[in-house]
Every structure is written in structure tokens, then in C-alpha cells.
Amino acid sequence: MFDKEIRIKSDEELRRSLGEDGFRIVRQKGTERAFTGRYWNCKSPGVYRCSVCSNPLFDAGTKYDSGSGWPSFWQPVAAGKVREEADFSHGMQRVEVLCAHCQAHLGHVFPDGPAPTGMRYCINSASLELDGYGQGV
């Protein structure tokens, strides 16, 4: 399921494929407005991959409606696929989530999610590409 080639897109490719706002999110640690991303309310099955390098990040089976307006997951697809780092920007203390392969900014993780993990990975849609079951996963 995870045998897709992992290749990091150049900044020029990212600007072309993600647009300036998407580029700002993945490379400059931005965020999209709540309830505006293409995946916040998506219910399709599949694997969410990094929009920069295609690294598999989250399975749609772990996605849930957190009410936050961003795609939310209770765990990554496998250990070592995402990296967490302390984030003290904007006067807050949070935990940033990054793609472990290319270091793209994905979003943040919070300890207020559902069982079984209790975690809420709150991820920007611009950081994701949905690879649906039966479509090359």
C-alpha cells in the first residue's frame, strides 16, 4: 500500500501545484482558514500523503470530525511517518507536525482527540493529497 515513489518537489513545482497559499503553508509554516481546505469534510477512503513528497501520512480510517474545520486524525499511518517539534510561535505553546521525509509543515497535534490515542492531529488540507483505495495506493 505504501510503495509509491517518494520524491520531493522543488519550490517552483510546489508553487505551481499548490499555489502561493499552499506553498506558504508547507514551506513557511502557515495555516489555512478553518472550513476552507478541500479535505476538512472529506469522507473518502484512502491514504493521505504529503503534498510535497508523497510520503504516506494518515489513513482515512483514522480521520474524524473534530469540529475544528481542519482534517483531523487520531494517529499517523505508521510510526516514523511524521515528526513532532515544539512550536512557540504566535505566543502559544503547541506541537508542530512535520513530514518526517521532507520536513513539510503539516499542522499541529493536540492531546484532546478521541480514543484509542486521545490525540488530534489537526492538519492543513494543502499539506495533503488523498490517494484513494483502488487508485494506486
CA distances 80 to 43, 98, 100, 101, 131, Å, are 25, 11, 7, 9, 19
Active site residues: 122
3-state secondary structure of 71: coil
The CATH code of domain 11-131 reads 2.170.150.20
Which stretch of DSSP H or E encloses residue 22?
Answer: helix 11-28
**Average pLDDT of every residue of the chain:** 91
The per-residue pLDDT for range 34-47, each reduced to its tens digit, is 999 999 999 999 99
Lowest mean pLDDT among 17-26, 61-70, 97-106: 17-26
The per-residue pLDDT for range 61-99, each reduced to its tens digit, is 999 999 999 999 999 999 999 999 999 988 889 999 999
pTM exceeds cut of 0.85: yes
Rounded-to-integer distance, Cα 12 and Cα 14, Å: 5
Task: Name, in order, each residue with C-beta under 8 angstroms of 19's C-beta and a sequence gap of 6 or more.
Answer: none
Closest alpha carbon to 63 in 5, 125, 136, 126: 125
Domain range summary for the chain, segments of one domain joined by +:
11-131
